[in-house]
Structures are given as C-alpha cells and as structure tokens.
Structure 1
C-alpha cells in the first residue's frame, strides 16, 4: 500500500469515528492526538448518549467465585436437608463440571448464621459484619447468571463480554467511548491482591482481562504493581534526570511524527500519547500512591492490612484516591475464592481480607461526596453449588462452580440502595424471578455512565462489535434511581 493509500485509509477511519456514536469516536480519537481538544473537555457533552448518573466505576472482582449461599442468598430451610440428594427436578439435567460428573449431588447447607441489617433489612452472612453497616447503600442482585462454567471463560466473559479471548475489556470500552477525565493518570487502572494465607487455589490472572483487544492499545488497563515502582520502569535509570528524559522524549516524538506522516498508522499516535502519559505519570503516580497525607482515622477504617503494599485494603484506599483524581475505571482483583474443599475456613479468611476494606471504601467515598457519581460493583465470575464437595460435614464442605445463579451487588452511581433484585429457588440453584445475565449487567453499567450499549461500537472483522455482543441484553431499569 502506498503512503497516499495509507493516508486515505486513515482519513476514512477518522470520518467513521467522527460520524459514529454521537461523538464517541471523536472523543476517543481526540485523546490520542497531541494538540487536539482533550477528551475530558468533550466527554461530558459528546461522549455520552444521555445524561450520566455515574462518572466512574470501581469494579471489585472476586476472582474464583464466592459462594452466594454462604454470604448473600439466605436459604435457612436447607439445614434439614443436609446430605440429601438434590432433587432431579431442580438440577434438571443442567451442565456440571468434570469434578461433579457422575457423583452424588448431596446438599450442604451453610454453616454460617445470617441476619437482617439496616433499615432495608437485607439478609447478610455473619462473615461480613462491616459490610452489614452499608446495606442501605447496596443493591443486591441475587439473580445473576452466566454461560461459563469454568474459571477462565467465566472471568473472560465477565471482564470482556465474551468467553472468546481477545475482546476489549470493560474499562477499555469506557476509555474508548468516554475518553479521559484526568490528563496525568491512565483512564483505566488495575490492581490485584491475594493475601489470605490459607491453602487456597489462587489462580493466575492474565492481562487480556484488562486488555484493549481490537481497540487502539491506548485504551488497555494499566496494571499497578504491589512492590517497587507502581508502574514498571516509572523511575528514571541512574544518570538520567527529568530534563534529560524530556529531551529524549521530544526527539523520539519528532521521529514518531515523521513516521506517522509517512505511513499513517494510528498506533503511532497511540505510542506518542502513551509516552507523554508515562512522562507525566512520573510525577502523578508517586503522589497518588503516597498515603502519608491520610488521617489516622481513615487508615484505621480500612483495617489492619492497610500498611501492607499490595493488600486488598491498600488497594481499596488507592481506589478512593483514584476516584478523587477522576480515573475513569478502577478494577480490583482479589484472588482465592475457589473453594472446592474446606470452604468454611477459607471463606472466613477471604472475608477477613475484604469485609472491612470494602465497607470502608463505600464510607470513604460517601465522606468525600464521591459515592453519588461513582458506581461500585462487587462480583465474581459465577456462583457456587448447593451440593457439597470434598469431606462433607456440617462444619467442613466445599462447593463446585455454578453459573445458573449467583449474587452481585452495586452501590452508588445512580443505583437504588437498600434493595434486592431477583429471586432464586429454595436451593439457590435456579433463577425464578427477574434474571440478570452478565450482558445485562454490562448494559446497565454503561447506561449509568450515559452510554447506550447498542451504540457503543467498533468495526472489526465485518461486525460492529459491542461489549454486550450480539445476544439479547437489557438495561435493568428497576434498580436505577
């Protein structure tokens, strides 16, 4: 292809982006081109399809899949059914994992006590005493369901909208569609933790969960590290100061702009923008991650792990600090929820990790006036079965993967607090009222941010690709203020 043809191709892409999605493409492209109007100046007027209720998202992803039966979906009548076979009329021949195939499905009621909390009277497990104090801020969706039955496709589906690897992540779609609200920090930041020291299956995470897929690479998530530089290679090497780095970057920018004028590859513009962002982050990230200016009261509110870099507690505090600085999408992964055996012991450990910091995050956001326009989402990739695994006693049991129903909760960002939505059967095995697919949750999140999920598209492989894909999906308007 000649330089002239490449230039024409670039112009065609620009025209497409300008004319698509009420300015969504323009907003994204503007954030890539030096000297163009910054995305934060256009996102509120052109980057949304209607008035948003939320400006940013904090997504608390519990990797491994917490048991809804032991935390949120109270089923007291199961106590009298301990070790009885799950009725065939309930399981109804549904798909099971290889770990269950051919085995008895014996009911394991929860060991833990439940109680109602707050003015709303939401039921919650004794394992979450701090979160109980926030129930009037929570919208509990008990009727979540998904198609994936194993962890890799389950996480991939929840984070990207598809079980097929390679699609853009939620945060990348928002960065593309809405642009940035902060010139000195990434649109999309990812932090992970796994601090409970029990013998838990802590699975690896993979960068495609926060990748940009077929979108310009500028929109991928920036993963912050627990030790050393929060972002790799943030510090200058010995002998290089900020002034030298600036001169090097200017010279490299000149070369890249010349290269762009010759071949017209838009990824060159992405490279220039990312290099400039990296330079600004050398100042903004150390200031962000330095928590010495936080009050003793605030630090104590997040619990004893706040002093441990990389802990879930520290990441929750950093999420609030990022929200203050208008990072668009903040995603926290906490691993270790895959409890096929010894669930009571391991679940207690996981809840010690997340209960107090999660409640503190909600309270802290509220104190700073941020909860109203910050959407907080708490979920795993699927749920857990009512039938047990491993050694099966009243105090010791495990649970298998269960995609047919599980619980997620939302708070802030235009969501109704103090309510439950959706109902499961007496075994927390099937949704019997108001089902919410993962695609529906994605559509609802986009709606709260002012985006019509059917109109946030990107052309790839002959299809106008969407986060919610081609299957039917809906906005769950009943949970929106």
Structure 2
C-alpha cells in the first residue's frame, strides 16, 4: 500500500463519528458538519467576509499595548489630592458601597487611603494630569485620548484579561485579533494577519501567567489565531530550515503534503484541513518575509533614539514597539504587545518606576514614529490593562511605600490615532478615584468602538457556533463611545 493510500485509510475521531449510525445523534452531527462546511469557503487567502467593512473605516490596523496585571491609574494618570488630605484614614463605606473585594484584602481590618507618592503635573492643551513616572507620555498627551472612566465586572486577573480580550470571562472565545482576521482578512499575504509579542519586563518578577488563548481563535477556524513572535531565538518557531534541508526541498515537501491534505479534505470535509494547508504555505512565505521584517539595521538613528536605549535589546518592550511599527507599515492587521509585571500589591515604590521606565519612552517613540511615517491616521493604538488598582493600601501603609489591590470599578486607558480625538481626557472618577461619576466606558463599549473604527458594526460581525450567533461584544449590549471620535 503506498503512502497516499495509507494516509487516506487513517480513521480519526471525526470520521468515526460521522460514519457511524447513531439515530438522532447522527442527525445532530450532520447539522454540526453543515455549519463547519460553510466555513470551508473562506481561507486565509480570502480578503474577508463579503459584506465587510460595513461602512467606511477610519482605521485599517490596530496596535494594542496590553499592560497585563493592571497599572495603578492613581500613580500614573488619575490625580486625586483628596487622598493626600486623608492619608491613612479609612475608605468611607459610602464610597465602597459593599463592593466585592479580592481574597487578598477582604479580611483586612482597615482600608487605609494611600495617596500617590509620585508628583503630578498638568500637561498639554488638554491639561491632562500625568505623574513624574511618565515624562515621555506627558510630552505627547495632545496626541492621546485618555479615558479615565473605564470599568469592568471582573476583579481577578485571568477572567478580567480574558474578558477584555474576548468579550467573555470564560475561556474559549475568539479574541479581537481573530475576529478582525475572520471579518476583514489579510492585507499582506507574506505576513500573519495577527501577531502577538510578549517582551521582558523589570517590575514584579512573579507576574501573572499569560496564556496563548489570549491571542487564540476560540471557535473560529484556527487560521485566525494570533502568531506569537518570540523574544529569543527565531522570531517564529521553525523559521529556519534544519541542516540538510534547503528551500527547494522544503517546497517539494509542502507540495506533496498539500496534495495529500486536499485528497483527505475531499473525503472528510474537515475545514481545519484547508487551514492546515494555508498555514503551511504562510510558514513557507514567512521564511523570507520575517527575517526582512525583524532586520532593523537600516532604521535611522533618529528613529531608534525616539524609542530609547532598550530598542537595541532584543525582546524588550521598546524593541517590540519598533517591530510593531514595522509590521503595520507592512499591513499586518493587528499587533498586540503583552507587557507583564503590573501587579503591585506591596511594592509600588520599587516596582512601578521600573515598569513605567520599560514602556514610557517606547510608547512615545511608537506614536511619534507612526506620525512621522503617516501611519497614525489609520492605525489605532490602544494602551491599558484589565482593571485598575485600589485607592486604599493592601498590607502595611507608609509614606515611603505601599501596595494596591485589584480595582475593576474605575481605571485608565488611552488610545491614539485611527479616528480618535487627540488631546482630550474623557471620563471622570470621584474625589477618591474609586467610582466613575462621568462618562463611563465599559470594556464592551471599548471593543465596540474599536470595531467601529475599523468599519465594523459589532452587532453584525457574528459567527454561528453550537446553534448560537456569537459576537465579540457579547449579549449584554455595548455602546460606541461617539464622544471620543472625530
């Protein structure tokens, strides 16, 4: 029996079930198979769904700077002098109003208010308050839309960041990059539509874990999952051919493998087989495109200086930001950079300055670089974490140091470019920085607004799975934040 016949005769779980006579169960499986086969007409070589974009987009690409762990908005953006006046006094119960706390502070006998130890100043025409930890960000506040009314329901890291990325607190849903890949398709056939990077960090070392499902495709075809770029070694696994294998040999191997996969698809109609073929082809093309992408030796000295000295160190946040600009310049649809270590429960004074130093100048360099290259107008940049941090101290409070617990009721994010108004501060918290009192933005509203800027009606971008029409913004409803849009 030749290799092709052996391959054809292999029986996997899907074939066994689909070929079995199981009464009503068989009818159900036929229905599921019909849903699956509908996706086979769309592969990574398509330009997206036929009805997208729904209207003229303001942005073509997204760079999402994910500060995993929750940055302390009260020490960076949300200046609250009332906390200084009430140093070490208990948070009034009328402000907390019975909010659920994490297990780390629920048993504290007191909730002492902890003012920021860092100095704040107003900057730009918007008069945005920025702390001394972010001097480069302070210089570009007139490029930013700072959103101080962000809020969410989840109070723990994993469900909160999953909620922000996928629109649901339970793992298994597609993330935004996968929705964009599915709906809008690719703009560059030689690079992935969606890329995720996880650079090094210098704050708290025992940071929360990041899971690949945060850039996964969930129930969408797997061709739409994010491709992880590594900070060490080859940017993508198996990018280099093994010893003894050249490009011609690899091409012949892929052609033979594709022929077998196409024959197998005709027999079992599994849409993931077409995905496998297209992903092998993408991997082959990336062997040429990725080395060119990651070679920054021809970047201008003035450009590198904008990002700061860390841009020369592979795997840093600054180096990742430069790569992000190079990616969107080559029409990668979405780039996410997950920077860990923002979980300061006990050591704000020690860890937070290092975290800010990692990202401050790099973010500035990215925005200015995009502007100079004419890319910011149609590239939407998003910065922020999964929730904020409390105004009261976790553990012992001193003037020199303190820690802050998780706080979902109010936190700060910012956006720039992509049709978002620059130089504004949107939203407001109470004098304690605890509750949103004006222009709140739920994370579903944020995701709906991002989709809107890409020409997508979030209610119409759906995918049928298990008999339901799923969407990124869930069933609770979401509003486009029109006040921040040009």
Compute the TM-score of the two structures, normalised by the length of structure 2.
Answer: 0.92
For the 8 Å contact 1:175–1:188, the answer to whether it is kept is yes
List aligned pairs for 1:18-167, cutoff 5 A. 29-32=41-44, 38-39=46-47, 46-103=51-108, 104-167=110-173
Q: How far apart are the structure 1 equivalents of 2:204 and 2:456?
A: 42
CA displacement at 1:102 relative to structure 2: 2.6
For the 8 Å contact 1:172–1:188, the answer to whether it is kept is yes
What residue in structure 2 maps to residue 307 of structure 1? 312
CA deviations on 1:349-400 (whole Å, 9 max, x unpaired) are: 0011000000000000000000000000001010000001233112200000
Q: How far apart are the structure 2 equivalents of 1:32 and 1:102?
A: 52
CA displacement at 1:7 relative to structure 2: 13
For the 8 Å contact 1:64–1:381, the answer to whether it is kept is yes
Once structures 1 and 2 are overlaid, which stretch shifts more, 341-350 or 375-384?
341-350
What residue in structure 2 maps to residue 411 of structure 1? 416
Once structures 1 and 2 are overlaid, which stretch shifts more, 447-456 or 116-125?
116-125
What residue in structure 2 maps to residue 444 of structure 1? 449
Q: How far apart are the structure 2 equivalents of 1:430 and 1:125?
A: 20
Question: Tell me, what secondary structure is at the counterpart of 2:480?
Answer: coil
Selected match of 1:354 from 339, 352, 359: 359
What residue in structure 2 maps to residue 423 of structure 1? 428
For the 8 Å contact 2:43–2:275, the answer to whether it is kept is no
What residue in structure 2 maps to residue 376 of structure 1? 381
For the 8 Å contact 1:301–1:360, the answer to whether it is kept is yes
Selected match of 1:179 from 166, 182, 185: 185
CA deviations on 1:284-324 (whole Å, 9 max, x unpaired) are: 00100111010111112111111111100000000000010
Q: How far apart are the structure 2 equivalents of 1:305 and 1:48?
A: 38
Q: How far apart are the structure 2 equivalents of 1:410 and 1:434?
A: 16
Give unmatched runs, 5+ long, in structure 1. Answer: 18-27
In the superposition, relative to structure 1, how do residues 399 and 14 fare at CA in structure 2: closer, same or farther (>3 Å)? closer
For the 8 Å contact 2:409–2:434, the answer to whether it is kept is yes
Question: Tell me, what secondary structure is at the counterpart of 2:383?
Answer: strand
For the 8 Å contact 1:191–1:331, the answer to whether it is kept is yes
Give unmatched runs, 5+ long, in structure 2. Answer: 1-17, 21-26
Q: How far apart are the structure 1 equivalents of 2:121 and 2:368?
A: 21
Question: Tell me, what secondary structure is at the counterpart of 2:54?
Answer: coil
Question: Tell me, what secondary structure is at the counterpart of 1:193?
Answer: coil
Q: CA RMSD in A?
A: 2.0
Q: How many residues align?
A: 462
For the 8 Å contact 2:461–2:471, the answer to whether it is kept is yes
Q: How far apart are the structure 2 equivalents of 1:93 and 1:203?
A: 27
Q: How far apart are the structure 2 equivalents of 1:144 and 1:408?
A: 7
CA displacement at 1:427 relative to structure 2: 0.8
